[in-house]
Amino acid sequence: MCGITGFVNISRSFNYDHRDILLKMSDTLNHRGPDDSGIWLDKEKGVGLGHRRLAILDLSSEGHQPMVSRCGRYVMVYNGEIYNFRDLRQQLELKGYIFGGHSDTEVMLAAFCHWGLDEAVGRFVGMFAFALWDRTDKKLYLVRDRMGIKPLYYGWMGSSFLFGSELKSLKVHPAFIAEIDRDVLAVYLRNNYIPAPYSIYKGISKLTPGCILTLQVDSDSYNQNIKSYWSVKDVVDKCIANPVDYTDFEAVNHLETLLREAVGIRMVADVPLGAFLSGGIDSSMVVAIMQSQSSRPVNTFTIGFNEEYYNEARHARAVSDVLGTDHTEIYLTSEETMAVIPKMPFMYDEPFADTSQIPTFLVCELARRKVTVSLSGDGGDEIFGGYNHYFWTSNIWKWVKWIPHRMRRLLSDILQSRSPIEWDRLFELFNPVLPRRSSNTLPGERIHKLAEVLPAVCPEEIYRVIVSIWKQPGDLIMGGNEPVTVITERSSWPETSDLISRIMFLDMVSFLPDDILVKVDRASMGVSLEARVPLLDHRIVEFSWGLPISMKIRNGQGKWILRQILYKYVPREIIERPKMGFGVPIDHWLRGPLRGWANELLSAENLKAGGFFRPEPILKVWHEHISGQRNWQHCLWNILMFQAWLQKEKVT
């Protein structure tokens, strides 16, 4: 895994200052590639490419980047892994190509020379973000993998076109202007993350997964266009048009074959390798298949917490004992966990507020003590129907769609006329022994969540309300209008008649690449660890969309087909338990040890000084939370992460 960056300078006035700038841009990505670095400049065309290397395959100098193709036409900086590079290498060797090293980078360049960019990218199985300079056609290509596992930012700042793996590499360029986009801020407040193609800064975008950006560098113009070479929508439309009739037996066996190959090719590395293990369906599946293909115990890693509701360590230990892995677990105190919070703004570069960012970083930090590569089970929920909101959306709509809309609005107002704590007290009169596993399970909060979705005019609106952190973000921001996203642009959806499939699609093209994969990439790269996600092999994604929903969700339970495979490796009773989130008790910390930190960031003075928020609605939520009237942890963490990020921005 690596970090890439660079620029195209229209003025083309290259001097040592530009070389120094490129070095500084690359050095900001040292954490992504501590093993080696390099830059390449084309003075005539004003093109600069920078690279930081985390050596995984071919640890020798033959893997150094930027790398020039043997024919001399192409120069590339690349972040990622092409897992089928050995097969591609054999095909190219039969065509007469000679290789000097053993890296996948060299194979990619030969593939471009032989097949051309489009066909070569179509043959790649892996995760990647790369910049390719074509010295013959004078074109710069930026390419991102199909699922968006690896990040890639780009944009124009004056006469300079900048790109990089992380925003911090762009920000050190002297042309960069850090102007916060208030419209995008509204999207962040709703989602906890900033979806592609947006970034927090005006003029800077994220390249959408499965796309190729081409910048034509001519003497008198700089033409730019973006095209898609693969998309989830195209996959879904194709599966609808050409359905495949699998029996349960055929589907389970075929998926297991795909999983074994996807995991197997991701176990290839010239450095120590392991896996994250939570004890849930997805990570247990990955580890089980890893162990079945390994001659020695697989290194597995888990972090535990003393707060039982948030602790998955004992479940992971049970799976490890059955599979026989070399398991490492560590129990962390609240103090140790909270100590990483100040690192978050630097790590993510733009506001990001998924609270599981904290434990994700900690498990990556633990794994890095023993390995350089770790496999992860991310993606299983989106691909095979594992999230609870799939059931909630479907069930709620099934029950409320028959009620006249006016009556639903009235009922919503009635339910919200009492606070959650008042509903809790009312329920205690009838049942004095309420389950208190977590404040999220109390009836008052559930009643208010139901009230929020009752006025929905369609099931997709229920979904949007459920996944929205702030329901009306425009009420908080001074200026700015919430822009269109894939969730609100129905014309970008596939023509599927199944509600749950539509919601799974929306998660797969927004929440997965822009929250889950951002979280894993920044947390792992923050400690120079490569994270690989075999469940997001595009061949598995394509196969999953060809399955009927009944093979994903059956008898009110998600991931049916994955469970059938996992039961071959791990006893059912170890796996079957309620789904747990990978989180920390932010709600309690904000009322306790984090209260002083939060109080300062959320003070009326700080909120006004930032110039982005109206303090009144935020302070109302803050006071309700610390008084115990409501659990507003997600809304508050959302604002706090922006405020902490903004504070860091002013310092740097």
Task: Report the C-alpha gap between 531 and 512 in whole angstroms.
Answer: 15
The architecture in CATH of the region 234-385+500-575 reads 3-Layer(aba) Sandwich (3.40)
At 438-489, the pLDDT tens digits run: 444 568 888 888 888 899 999 999 999 999 999 999 999 988 789 999 999 9
> What confidence category does residue 169 fall into, taking pLDDT thresholds of 50, 70 and 90?
very high
Angle between helices 388-400 and 443-453 (to 10 degrees): 60
What pLDDT, on the 0 to 100 scale, is given for residue 530? 95
Dihedral Cα 37, 43, 48, 49, nearest 10 deg: -50
Give the 3-state secondary structure of residue 155: strand
What pLDDT, on the 0 to 100 scale, is given for residue 438? 44
* Overall average pLDDT of the 606-611 stretch: 92
What does DSSP assign to residue 221? Answer: -
At 423-441, the pLDDT tens digits run: 877 877 766 555 444 444 5
pTM for this one?
A: 0.94
pLDDT greater than 70 at residue 15:
no
Task: Report the C-alpha gap between 49 and 131 in whole angstroms.
Answer: 8
At 178-216, the pLDDT tens digits run: 999 999 999 999 999 999 999 999 999 999 999 999 999
3-state SS record for 162-218? EEECCHHHHHCCCCCCCCECHHHHHHHHHHCCCCCCCCCECCEEECCCCEEEEEEEC
Bridge partners of residue 156, in order along the sequence: 161
Q: Mean pLDDT for the chain? A: 91
At 31-67, the pLDDT tens digits run: 999 988 999 998 888 899 999 988 777 666 777 889 9
Task: Report the C-alpha gap between 370 and 221 in whole angstroms.
Answer: 50
Q: In the chain, which residues fall in CATH 3.60.20.10? A: 2-230
Q: Which one of 3.40.50.720, 3.60.20.10, 2.60.40.290, 3.30.70.2740 gives the CATH number of domain 2-230?
A: 3.60.20.10
Q: In the chain, which residues fall in CATH 3.40.50.620? A: 234-385+500-575
What pLDDT, on the 0 to 100 scale, is given for residue 45? 85
What pLDDT, on the 0 to 100 scale, is given for residue 539? 98
